[in-house]
Structure 1
């Protein structure tokens, strides 16, 4: 029997116009209205008309949560996954799918997370593509105030830290491409500790239920259904590395043979293909993809 994992992209996958076609889903209008009450602004308006705002953390993360969860709600009427995982912000959709918290509680968490991360300042992130892993690891080890933030694949990672430290590592490592990212802070690094401490207080007030589907977390790819373990991993996520390469490697180890990426873009399936080329990969980015999938 084919075992399936659903995976959910995070910040960086957003695109102007995403989610607008979901309005034809029966439950979508009510969900968009509920989101507007929680957020104080319209996801539809941001996604349809305001590209600059859509690229800002404050708006990006809630928009992705709403759009991806609407696709999930429609897809669950056809099938259920055997494992879920999400990249950074995407982990919140994974936890929602697994029944760890209900939809509005998840959106309120994402809203506060986005506010705290948007307010972070003074840090820098940069992506490396096509590099010497040993050389990069050595440069990070010898440079203060910089860490490996996203271990996405053998050929693509992101570092995070102070601007001086990130620029120093860039100057030390030969890479096909080294790209500074347009973010406000040093996400997934110890520099996010003040924000993480404040967010931990928010998380502690939300009841987590045992997951009904195993969740592979960013800071620990070992699938778990334990509510306390999943909450602790989420607390660690803001300052910890996203271990996506290890999540990818764990998929076949957990007998997963098919992976469905739900949300805009195809970043995660691209990363998984480089790490585990034998897996069957599917993208559900919009209503057209959804209709094709359910008609098979």
Structure 2
């Protein structure tokens, strides 16, 4: 049987209208209602009618968590993954699917995480495409207050830090393309330390369960089912980098032959394709994709 990994995208993959088709599936109604009770606002209303709000971290992260987790619940009726991983926010969905976190607990954590990250100011993030990696590593090492926040693929990274430091890196590395990201702060960098400390206190009080399937974490892409290890890694995630390139490389090393991206868009399968060319890649963005899979 083909060994399959499910991967879950993070902030940046959201799109207006995502999740709306899930309303046609009767089993989803309870989850959407439960989410509204926890959040105090409607995921469906934001996804359907308010593109501006959906672009803000405060709403983006809970909406992605709810939509992706519901898609995963439906997909689990048809198949089971052999391994899971998520990009930044997506790691919370992966932990839910692996049985590490109860669904409502995961959503409450995501809600608070989004609030803390939304309130972070004073930093910036810029994506770099097609660059000299050796030079980038040298420049980052020589530039205080700038780090590689997302190592996404051999040809794409995201730099995070103070505006001055990030600009200094860009000016020296001279990537083919540099794209500023529309975020409120320097996510996945030491500049998130204050928010991370507050969030750590919350995470410490949450019960993590041993995973049903191995999880590849952002900050340490070595698969594990150990609850204590997964909690420790999640605590480090807000200030640590997303090592997605290494996660991609770890997939075949873990015997994975097929990868299913569960959530809006195809960002992760695109990144994986640039890193590992021999994997079967599929996308489940909505009900239509689930129907195709069933056939």
TM-score, normalised relative to structure 1? 0.99
Equivalence for 2:189: 189
Equivalence for 2:107: 107
Q: Distance in 2 between matches of 1:142 and 1:180?
A: 21
Would you say 1:202 and 2:202 are equivalent positions? Answer: yes
Equivalence for 1:10: 10
In structure 1, the residue corresponding to 2:26 is in which secondary structure?
A: coil
Q: Deviations over 1:144-186 (max 9, x none)?
A: 1000100000000001000100011111112110111111000
Q: Distance in 2 between matches of 1:178 and 1:123?
A: 16
Equivalence for 2:116: 116
Equivalence for 1:267: 267
Equivalence for 1:125: 125
Q: Distance in 2 between matches of 1:235 and 1:255?
A: 28
Equivalence for 2:49: 49
Equivalence for 2:221: 221
Alpha-carbon distance, 1:60 to partner: 0.1
Q: Distance in 1 between matches of 2:244 and 2:115?
A: 24
Equivalence for 1:278: 278
Q: Distance in 1 between matches of 2:280 and 2:54?
A: 31
TM-score, normalised relative to structure 2? 0.99
Q: Deviations over 1:242-266 (max 9, x none)?
A: 0000000000001100000000000
1:1-296 map, 5 Å: 1-295=1-295
The range that moved more, 130-139 or 14-23, is: 130-139
Q: Deviations over 1:24-55 (max 9, x none)?
A: 11221111111000000010010000001000
Runs of 4+ deviating beyond 6 Å: none
Q: Which runs of 5+ in 1 are unaligned?
A: none
In structure 1, the residue corresponding to 2:213 is in which secondary structure?
A: coil
In structure 1, the residue corresponding to 2:212 is in which secondary structure?
A: coil
Q: Distance in 2 between matches of 1:175 and 1:134?
A: 12
Q: Distance in 2 between matches of 1:109 and 1:60?
A: 14
Alpha-carbon distance, 1:9 to partner: 0.1
Alpha-carbon distance, 1:142 to partner: 1.0
In structure 1, the residue corresponding to 2:130 is in which secondary structure?
A: strand
Q: Distance in 2 between matches of 1:253 and 1:101?
A: 26
Q: Distance in 2 between matches of 1:118 and 1:293?
A: 36
In structure 2, the residue corresponding to 1:5 is in which secondary structure?
A: strand
RMSD of aligned residue pairs (Cα, Å): 0.6
Q: Distance in 2 between matches of 1:58 and 1:210?
A: 29
Q: Distance in 2 between matches of 1:26 and 1:224?
A: 34
In structure 2, the residue corresponding to 1:14 is in which secondary structure?
A: coil
Q: Distance in 2 between matches of 1:25 and 1:240?
A: 37
